[in-house]
Amino acid sequence: MRLKEIRKSKGISQLKLALELNTNQNTISRYETGEREPGIAELIKIADYFDVSVDYLLERTDNPKMQK
């Protein structure tokens, strides 16, 4: 996941992101370290929050935005 990179580019902390997504800071940390992975619903929440495609979030494309 490109989560850490995206989050940092927006300049927000794990804690702030966690609050925005109604989860915990440790959960975000574990997504970023790859220790755990989000389910689909969470994946989509993250992509939507940052306004990027899931494919981009998963490092499957260089283009951040999904096609409509």
Partner DNA sequence: TTCATTATATCCCAAATTGGGATATTTTTA
Partner DNA sequence: TAAAAATATCCCAATTTGGGATATAATGAA
Binding residues for a copy of itself, rule: CB under 8 A, are: 37-40, 43-44, 53-55, 58, 60-63, 66-68
Q: Which two tokens stand for residue 36?
A: 């755990």
Choose between 25 and 53: whose C-beta lies nearer to a copy of itself.
53
CB of 34 to DNA, least distance (A): 9
Distance CA 59, CA 16 (A): 23
CB of 62 to DNA, least distance (A): 24
Strands (E), 1-68: none
Q: Residue 32 to residues 26, 42, 47: CA-CA distances in angstroms?
A: 10, 13, 14
CB of 47 to a copy of itself, least distance (A): 8
